[in-house]
């Protein structure tokens, strides 16, 4: 797809920029002007915030609400930008940018949005200007807001028995003022190591955590994507990979070894974060081309909520191709549940009506999912093997299907 985009779009044309109208929904912040996607589009277009669905060129969404499902947006191109451990739902969005290693025609690219931030550029040069004095910094840092990841909490607790770890997040804060730090990178730069654990483990799921540690010129202790050292992107010599160890005890022993070996520690700091120094620029260019393709030649795939699920779900879904290590079970589950559900037209329509009119139901389901999965990080530490996260990362559409009555329930009602 990348070659197609590059060939089709070419270089930025000089002259007056084309006006496009967009709206941001379900995002981390309502700030339109500073939205990262809007800022990229502004390099090529005049981007105007618009609240009239009939005039919109693009709806830019993330995963924090379901307002995009309102029927007034049926004829608007929808882009999903994922920053959480969520698989894109291509029956709700026409295009997506996410972590999963999947290909889906021209509708998806695999990309970590943290690479769009300035910290990615700082991480790319983290190996420059390394001094011996960096070995004499405080031992470790920990900045976490989500306290539900048990494997991360366990390392913090047990590694703290060796040396004090500065914790500056909302969770387990041990600073004198008990307040979260204002400048994370400055805070991390004062320490030799940073616990850069994700909230959950999944292939491709790499957020800003390791980039922040690299940008601060500290050594990340990483857990999250089991293939992070095998995908040819990040330099395995630049960080401590928890997935390389059979258990937490052996990981801690190695951290102690590096902590007491000046030459080894400084050599890790002097290693570049990325194996390819042009990786960040290359991926950013890919996102730019993808966004321009959506604006210039993209289309609305599903114009009607109910009909889309009845007629197009399987036909479009079978075009998805997965890389060798991506987990297919989520889409298999969707197909199976959808086949069962679509035979009940009345129930299906009723379910959609009920769901679309009840945001409180959706939010309750999210809270329940979070409690069940313990924030996506539950379970005993098992660092040597990839975490099977399929039970922890249910697709939003799967939650909806669970609301539908079973065949037995329907039979009872008839009686």
pLDDT in tens, 293-342: 999 999 988 665 445 544 444 444 444 444 433 444 455 555 565 566 55
Same fold, 16-111 and 118-276: yes
* Phi and psi, residue 22, nearest 5°: -140, 165
> What's the pLDDT tens digit per position in 349-362?
665 555 455 545 55
Task: Give the range among 32-46, 136-150, 168-182, 374-388 with minimum mean pLDDT.
Answer: 374-388
Query: What's the whole-number mean pLDDT along residues 95-120?
Result: 91
Residue 195 and residue 165 in contact, taking contact as beta carbons nearer than 8 Å: yes
More confident residue, 165 or 299: 165
More confident residue, 27 or 278: 278
More confident residue, 189 or 90: 189
CA-CA distance, 170 to 178, in Å (whole number)?
A: 8
CA-CA distance, 382 to 391, in Å (whole number)?
A: 16
> What's the pLDDT tens digit per position in 14-42?
458 999 999 999 898 889 999 999 999 99
Q: Does the pLDDT at position 174 exceed 90?
A: yes
Rg (CA), the chain: 23
Query: What's the whole-number mean pLDDT along residues 161-174?
Result: 98
What is the number of residues in the chain? Answer: 415
**Dihedral sign (CA 187, 193, 198, 204):** positive
CA-CA distance, 121 to 369, in Å (whole number)?
A: 35
Supply the pLDDT for residue 368: 59
Supply the pLDDT for residue 242: 98
More confident residue, 371 or 311: 371
Q: Best-predicted range by mean pLDDT among 4-18, 87-101, 127-141?
A: 127-141
Q: What mean pLDDT, rounded, does the chain reach? A: 80
Q: Does the pLDDT at position 252 exceed 50?
A: yes
165-167 and 219-223 beta bridge pairing:
unpaired
pTM of the full structure? 0.74
Q: Does the pLDDT at position 55 exceed 90?
A: yes
Supply the pLDDT for residue 88: 84
Strands (E), 32-129: 45-49, 58-61, 78-81, 95-98, 102-103, 108-110
Q: Does the pLDDT at position 104 exceed 90?
A: no
> What's the pLDDT tens digit per position in 118-164?
999 999 999 999 999 999 999 999 999 989 899 999 999 999 999 99
CB atoms within 10 A of CB 320: 18
More confident residue, 57 or 409: 57
Q: Which CATH class is domain 118-276?
A: alpha beta
Q: Which helix (H) or strand (E) holds 156?
A: helix 150-159
- The angle, 0 to 180 degrees and rounded to 10, between the axes of the packed helices 248-259 and 150-159 is 50
With cut-offs at 50, 70 and 90, classify the pLDDT of residue 348. Answer: low
Task: Find tokens 């120094």 and name the residue.
Answer: 277
Supply the pLDDT for residue 91: 75
Supply the pLDDT for residue 70: 73
CATH code reported for the domain at 16-111 = 3.40.50.11650
Query: Where do the domains of the chain lie?
Result: 16-111, 118-276, 303-339
Residue 103 forms beta bridges with which residues? 321
Residue 42 and residue 32 in contact, taking contact as beta carbons nearer than 8 Å: no
Supply the pLDDT for residue 2: 46
Supply the pLDDT for residue 105: 78
Assigned token pair, 223: 């857990």
Task: Give the range among 157-166, 167-176, 302-311, 406-415 with minimum mean pLDDT.
Answer: 406-415
Task: Give the range among 43-52, 69-78, 119-128, 387-396 with minimum mean pLDDT.
Answer: 387-396
> What's the pLDDT tens digit per position in 197-241?
999 998 899 999 999 999 999 999 999 999 999 889 999 999 999
Assigned token pair, 280: 């960040």
> In terms of DSSP H, where are the helices of 260-278?
262-269
């Amino acid at each position: 797809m990348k070659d197609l985009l590059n060939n089709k779009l070419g270089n930025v044309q000089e002259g007056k920029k084309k006006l496009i109208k967009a709206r941001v929904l379900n995002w981390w912040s309502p700030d339109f002007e500073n939205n990262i996607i809007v800022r990229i589009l502004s390099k090529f277009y005049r981007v105007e915030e618009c609240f009239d669905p009939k005039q919109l060129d693009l709806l830019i969404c993330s995963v924090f609400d379901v307002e995009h499902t309102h029927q007034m947006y049926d004829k608007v191109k929808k882009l999903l930008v994922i920053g959480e451990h969520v698989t894109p739902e291509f029956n709700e969005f026409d295009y997506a940018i996410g972590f999963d290693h999947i290909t889906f025609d021209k509708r998806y690219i695999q990309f970590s949005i943290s690479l769009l931030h300035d910290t990615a550029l700082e991480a790319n040069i983290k190996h420059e200007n390394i001094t011996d004095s960096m070995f004499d910094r405080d031992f470790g840092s920990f900045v976490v807001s989500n306290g539900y990841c048990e494997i991360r909490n366990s390392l913090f607790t047990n590694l703290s028995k060796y040396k004090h770890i500065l914790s500056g997040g909302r969770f387990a804060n041990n600073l004198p003022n008990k307040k979260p730090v204002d400048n994370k990178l400055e805070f991390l730069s004062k320490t030799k190591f940073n616990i850069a654990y994700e909230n959950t483990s999944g292939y491709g799921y790499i957020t800003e955590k390791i980039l922040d540690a690299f940008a601060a010129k500290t050594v990340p202790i990483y857990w999250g994507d089991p293939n992070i050292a095998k995908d040819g992107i990040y330099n395995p010599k630049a960080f401590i990979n928890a997935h390389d160890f059979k258990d937490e005890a052996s990981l801690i022993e190695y951290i102690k070894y590096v902590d007491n070996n000046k030459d080894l520690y400084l050599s890790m700091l002097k290693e570049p974060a990325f194996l390819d120094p042009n990786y960040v620029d290359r991926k950013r260019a890919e996102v730019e081309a993808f966004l321009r393709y959506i604006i210039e030649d993209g289309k609305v795939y599903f114009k009607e909520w109910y009909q889309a699920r009845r007629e197009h779900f399987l036909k479009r879904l079978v075009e998805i191709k997965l890389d060798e290590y991506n987990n297919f079970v989520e889409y298999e589950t969707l197909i199976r549940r959808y086949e069962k559900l679509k035979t009940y037209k009345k129930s299906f329509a009723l379910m959609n009506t009920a769901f679309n009119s009840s945001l409180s139901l959706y939010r309750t389901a999210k809270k329940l999912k979070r409690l069940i999965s313990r924030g996506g990080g539950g379970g005993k530490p098992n660092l040597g093997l990839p975490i099977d996260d399929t039970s922890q990362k249910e697709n939003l559409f799967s939650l909806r299907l669970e609301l539908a009555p079973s065949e037995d329930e329907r039979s009872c009602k008839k009686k």
